[in-house]
A = this chain, B = another copy of it.
Amino acid sequence: MTHGKGRKGAAAGGTPLRELLRAGAGGRRGLGAYDPSALPAGPSDKAAGRAASAALAGPLAELQERLYAAATAGDRRRLLLVLQGMDTSGKGGTVKHVIGQFNPSGCRITAFKAPTPQERAHPFLWRVEKALPGPGEIGIFDRSHYEDVLIARVRALAPREVLERRYEEINAFERGLAEDGVTVVKVFLHIGFEEQRERLLRRLDRPDKRWKFDPGDIEERGLWPAYQEAYERVLERCSTDAAPWYVVPADRKWYRNWAVSRLLLEHLEELDPRYPPASFDVEACRARLMAG
């Protein structure tokens, strides 16, 4: 097991991962500046990655419980994880492996598909607002309102001036969320073109994976450069202080799981939610219980 210079320090609490992975960190522009197979901090092989992820499960679960407990006493804070990425980039796998570490009763997961006729009859943020986490909850969006500036841009589903306006609408919306106590963690799962090919082929090869395959994925893959450009635009226009984007190298699943877990941990640790004090007379309750 080898570590690059400074890598161990970063993972162990030197430079926070959120600084290293933040879109635009180090002056990077364009997705070409991000290597989807990079290991910018933390574990450097699969075994170490799995061990490092497993070590985060306990602290994550405890922080979630404290967040949930604090809400019972009026704390309105919550967290929203937004997952975006090309087909096969691992949005579903992240939910399974990373969110699977939490108590499911405190998680609110929504997978956004192509909008229904009812959803299309409303402003694009309507369905998103209905899916927000309540106080103390962890919300997870598998795809999100960003589809309305991603596929909508690539497929020209709306006039260009409407698309342009949406970036500003999204920024205002997310600023409002932040002011309302929502910590928004936006993660772009960055995979390479060849890695996507391999993952799609694997879905075809394995009978237990074929149900995940949609021939439409091949059409979308044909629009790869347009999608990369649409993502670049999102990272430029919508990575704000209130709700920054993180670019997670996702060619290696074990690294992706560790990195998203670590990003969540850093944000939850910053929130530092506390178990609320008793709002009742503990001794009196104890006496009543002993008596009855």
A-side residues, CB < 8 A to B, are 65, 69, 72-73, 92, 95-96, 99-100, 102-105, 107, 109, 111, 142, 197, 200-201, 204, 207-208, 210-213, 215, 218, 221-222, 275-278, 280, 282, 285-286, 288-290, 292
Contacts and interface: CB of A to CB of B under 8 A. Distances in A.
B286 A204 contact: yes
A218 B285 contact: yes
A73 B204 contact: no
Contacts of A111: 105
Minimum-distance CB pairs A-B, first 7: A69-B211, A95-B105, A96-B103, A104-B104, A210-B278, A215-B280, A208-B275
A214 to B, nearest CB: 8
A200 B210 CA distance: 49
Nearest to A276: B211
Contact of A73 (B142, B211, B285): B211
A50 to B, nearest CB: 16
B210 A275 contact: yes
Contacts of A285: 204, 213, 215, 218
Contacts of A288: 218
A17 B203 CA distance: 36
Interface-centre pick from A95, A96, A211, A222 (highest chain B CB count, 10 A): A211
Contacts of A104: 95-96, 99-100, 102, 104, 107, 109
Contacts of A215: 280, 285
Contact of A222 (B197, B221, B292): B292
A288 B215 CA distance: 10
A103 B96 CA distance: 5
A270 to B, nearest CB: 20
A207 B277 CA distance: 7
A204 B100 contact: no
B92 A289 contact: no
23 contacts: A65-B208, A95-B104, A95-B105, A96-B105, A100-B104, A102-B104, A105-B111, A197-B290, A200-B289, A201-B286, A204-B282, A207-B277, A210-B275, A210-B282, A211-B276, A213-B278, A213-B280, A213-B285, A218-B285, A218-B288, A218-B292, A221-B289, A221-B292
